[in-house]
Amino acid sequence: MKSISLFFCFSWSILFSHLSFSQEWSVVGTGFNHSVNALQKDSANNLLYAGGNFDTADNKPCSHVAQWNGNSWDSLGTGLNGSVYTLAMYNGQLYAGGPFTKAGSKTRKYFTRWNGSDWDSIYFTTGNCNVQKLLEYKGQIYVGGGFPTAGGITVNNIGRFNGLQWDSVGQGTNNVVNCMAVYNNELYVGGNFDSAGGVPAKYIAKWNGSTWSAVGTGMNNSVLALESHNGKLYAGGNFTKAGGNTVSYIAAWDGNNWSDVGGGTNAAVGTLLSAFGNLTAGGWFTSAGGNPAGRIANWTGLSWAALTPGAGMNNIVSALAEFNGFVYAGGIFLKADTISANRIAKWQNEAAIPENGKENITACIYPNPFSSSAVIEILGMDMNNRKIKLQLHDVLGKEYSIPVDQQIQKFVINRNSLPDGIYFYRIIGDDQSKISVTGKMIIAR
């Protein structure tokens, strides 16, 4: 491992005359004929799954569930005969939940598993059922929604399945579970309930594997989305109070207290994703932090920003996922900015500048924002035996020099005494002709 230093040697005007940041939406095949409710990445097979109300994808039959290989959509067997609300990977297999009852001619009620060639029969419940969220936690898949029993036992809206049999999650909740996330090794659950395990818990509660407890004093309305991001748990929904504090449809929990998130949004947040150093929110809103943001926006840790300078989506965003360097958004929208996008689109925020047309590489930084250290990873090129330099400046063009450890494809940056703020980095080849990549990073304690 060798240590190098970051330095700045261009003026602000010269540097930005060479920068070209690509921030745009693009299509994902020809999309779907009805809404997308869920997106799930399958890292092992390099696939992205979509579930929803559709019955075609890429103008091909795909009944309520489909898979994307990076180039085209395909069906998963016969698909399912009703809407898919949630998808999750567990033990290397795809699980689906929703109000469906059949796969082809086979009975598959509300909860099923794709084994690679067919949909498995899993005994779940005999009554009407509303499955809203699936999530793996401590070696089991947790199923949340609105249902009294699972596998013949009373569960009260949330149960857990180990691949063979069902178990309850304490006494469950007294109303519907909409969302789940793992934070600090505990399972957080949001929904329409006001008690969990017999403990008062307004719209959100946590499960540590054996007992339920409240999360502060909770919210004043339903929680629709939960996501762990940069050391905090974020909740989105219909609420305007969190822990007694005034918020606007989104709040952050640090393990002890709830807080506002940059002024929030002007309408409900229904989905959250931590990716590429940002927290991406989707939902019904048209502004975030007081700035225009068409149903989707990024929280940088300091402020809200639209993903592109354009109008965003023209209708609700209900699902988000990261796949192969893109943020994928699904919902009921038909446009992403100015492009036609039938209920799904993908977005890439990339800072890549090929010099003299010789190389075209990209870099990503994570976490971003960061408080003490971050990693810049170089993508699209083998950096072994290649020498590069890094340059760093703030928004006023001031040069900074801090220790950086080079690890072939990666650079570990330590903030040392750098003040909080926005910085721009540039990676260049030692001859300043082979490689040139720029990016933005945010330091916040």
Question: How much is the pLDDT for 10?
Answer: 29
Q: Could you tell me what percent of the chain has a pLDDT over 90?
A: 66
Q: Does domain 2-20+353-443 have CATH number 3.40.720.10?
A: no
Q: Which tens digit of pLDDT belongs to each residue from 179-190? A: 999 999 999 999
Question: How much is the pLDDT for 177?
Answer: 98
Q: Which tens digit of pLDDT belongs to each residue from 388-424? A: 677 787 766 677 777 666 666 677 788 877 888 888 8
Q: Which of 9-18, 41-50, 109-118, 436-445 has the lowest mean pLDDT?
A: 9-18
User: Taking 70 as the threshold, does the pLDDT of residue 387 lie above it?
Assistant: no
Question: How much is the pLDDT for 241?
Answer: 98
Q: Which tens digit of pLDDT belongs to each residue from 130-141? A: 999 999 999 999
What are the domain boundaries of the chain?
2-20+353-443, 22-350
CA 37 to CA 42: how far, in whole Å? 17
User: Taking 60 as the threshold, does the pLDDT of residue 299 lie above it?
Assistant: yes
Confidence category of residue 382, pLDDT binned at 50, 70, 90 = low
| Paired residues of 212 in beta bridges | 207
What six digits make up the tokens of 8? 């700045």
Q: Report the pLDDT averaged over residues 142-154.
A: 95
Confidence category of residue 355, pLDDT binned at 50, 70, 90 = very low
Q: Report the pLDDT averaged over residues 39-45.
A: 95
Question: How much is the pLDDT for 412?
Answer: 79
Confidence category of residue 32, pLDDT binned at 50, 70, 90 = very high
CA angle 12, 16, 17 (to 5 degrees): 115
Q: Which tens digit of pLDDT belongs to each residue from 302-346? A: 889 888 877 899 999 999 999 988 999 999 999 999 999 999 999
Say how many CA atoms lie within 13 Å of 310 toward its Cβ: 15
For residues 147 and 179, is the Cβ–Cβ distance under 8 A? no
Q: Which tens digit of pLDDT belongs to each residue from 199-243? A: 999 999 999 999 999 999 999 999 999 999 999 999 999 999 999
Question: How much is the pLDDT for 8?
Answer: 29
Question: How much is the pLDDT for 438?
Answer: 73
Question: How much is the pLDDT for 341?
Answer: 96
What six digits make up the tokens of 330? 């699904």
For residues 67 and 76, is the Cβ–Cβ distance under 8 A? yes
Question: Higher confidence at residue 129 or residue 176?
Answer: 176
User: Taking 80 as the threshold, does the pLDDT of residue 384 lie above it?
Assistant: no
Q: Which tens digit of pLDDT belongs to each residue from 100-121? A: 999 989 999 999 999 999 999 9
Question: How much is the pLDDT for 430?
Answer: 58
Mean pLDDT of the chain: 86
Identify whether 369 is preceded by a cis peptide bond (ω within 30 of 0): yes
Listed residue (64, 62, 108, 102) closest to 83, CA to CA: 64
Listed residue (433, 382, 391, 435) closest to 409, CA to CA: 382
CA angle 236, 238, 239 (to 5 degrees): 85
Q: Which tens digit of pLDDT belongs to each residue from 166-179? A: 999 999 999 999 99
Say how many CA atoms lie within 13 Å of 392 toward its Cβ: 21
Question: How much is the pLDDT for 409?
Answer: 67
User: Taking 60 as the threshold, does the pLDDT of residue 290 lie above it?
Assistant: yes
Question: How much is the pLDDT for 305?
Answer: 86
Question: How much is the pLDDT for 356?
Answer: 31
Q: Which tens digit of pLDDT belongs to each residue from 60-95? A: 999 999 999 999 999 999 999 999 999 999 999 999
What six digits make up the tokens of 174? 């007294």
Question: How much is the pLDDT for 388?
Answer: 66
For residues 351 and 437, is the Cβ–Cβ distance under 8 A? yes
CATH of domain 22-350: 2.130.10.10
Listed residue (230, 179, 246) closest to 206, CA to CA: 179
Rounded to two decimals, the pTM is 0.78
